[in-house]
Structure 1
Amino acid sequence: MTLGIPPATPARGREITVTGIDGAGKSTLSARLHRALNAAGHTAILVGKNSTEVPTDPQLSAYVDQLNELVYRRDPRVAQACGDQYWLLALAAWYTLQDRLVIQPALAAGTHVVLDNAHHKILARYAVNPDVPLRLSEQVFAHLTQPDLVIFLRIGAREALARRKGEFTSLETGHSGSGDADFIHYQDAVLAQLRDQEQRGGWLSLDVAGMDRDAVFKTAAGAMADRLQLTI
């Protein structure tokens, strides 16, 4: 009788998170890192704020999509009416489902995850909100999978605003106004909170002020490959 050899368990995938203030270039870098990983022969997925597909389970995908619609595709009047405490818990529910149903299974299968729009910026926003206790904000996200690498794109709010060509939403000013000065004041406050998280979390911090997209990608990709021992 010949005993079968059980298949080898794949090595756990790595989670790479990109964070920074609005306009720092997070989505652009995340997409390029995702493409580069796959081009180098790795299996990788890109997860963003509208990623709702749960592999092989259309019912769960539909449910996650419904929650995504409630959280990210709502009328601005709804956001104002529901209040900050509600949105903190709604966002925590969204990140919990995405982590449990998309990110954790991918990592267990050996797939690398590039995460755009992670919860770090949410924490920073709530840290400058006097109406919500910071401890509560930290607790509702504490159970999420810890990334293997957080890439922090550091840039001042004034330069980030210039990159956005003056286009921003009320959320990106902390609902404090609609002018450029409101954006700059709020985003610099959020940046200070992100820098505090950086110091406590051992992030890979990149000063991207004055750098073009190609230079940011080259620097981030090289540092990621070095820290995680990934060929890219």
Structure 2
Amino acid sequence: MDFNTSIPTAKRLERLQYENPWWLTGQVQQAYTEMSKRLYFKLFYPFVKETEIKRAVVLMGPRRVGKTVMMFHAIQELLAENIAPKKIFFIGIDNPIYMQLGLEEILLLAKDAVALNNLEDCFVFFDEIQYLKDWERHLKVLVDFYPKTKFIVSGSAAAALRLQSSESGAGRFTDFMLPPLTFHEYIHLKDLGHLMQAKSIKYDDKEIPFLLLTTIKHLIKSFSIT
């Protein structure tokens, strides 16, 4: 059986509408809006908004570090800045419903789902890009063919290694590596800043800031499961 032809287009359009609720509501799913942003978001988001340089943003990192959540936070920020909801697409490439489709075919389905005449000034998020064979070649074609569209993709650490060994994306991709949660971010997310005291150390004529723990009692308690 040809899995590609066995899935009706209507079902794929239905899935796209489910993945992009802001097309109707203007809002990202509540589950994501209630999550705190990682401190790396402030570094990542400017790459999302950069449209003068014609490059796709490739968000890389190990599994379960929060790449998908960061993408939804970026969408939330775009909506807050009055980017038209129907000009923001989110597509999870790991869903079997898109099997055997190229990135451009999926992109054009999303375009049809919101009845856009063109893709100018659109922000397109492809999640779990490593599930598409030769994804870097597909993405390169999109960057070249749709210069007025911004593409942001997420990929695993394995996809990062593949990208580094390939020349196909040279000059067309901006890599952003998201590491696992740092201790500093843990303090931030748990709102434990009051337990830390800002200090600095002088090294090579530069003041290097760091945080010093003032008490360990409450920090240990924050790790407890109640």
Greater length-normalized contact order (CA 8 Å, ≥ 6 residues apart): 1
Q: Which structure has the larger Rg over C-alpha atoms?
A: 2
TM (norm. structure 2) is 0.37
More strand by share: 2
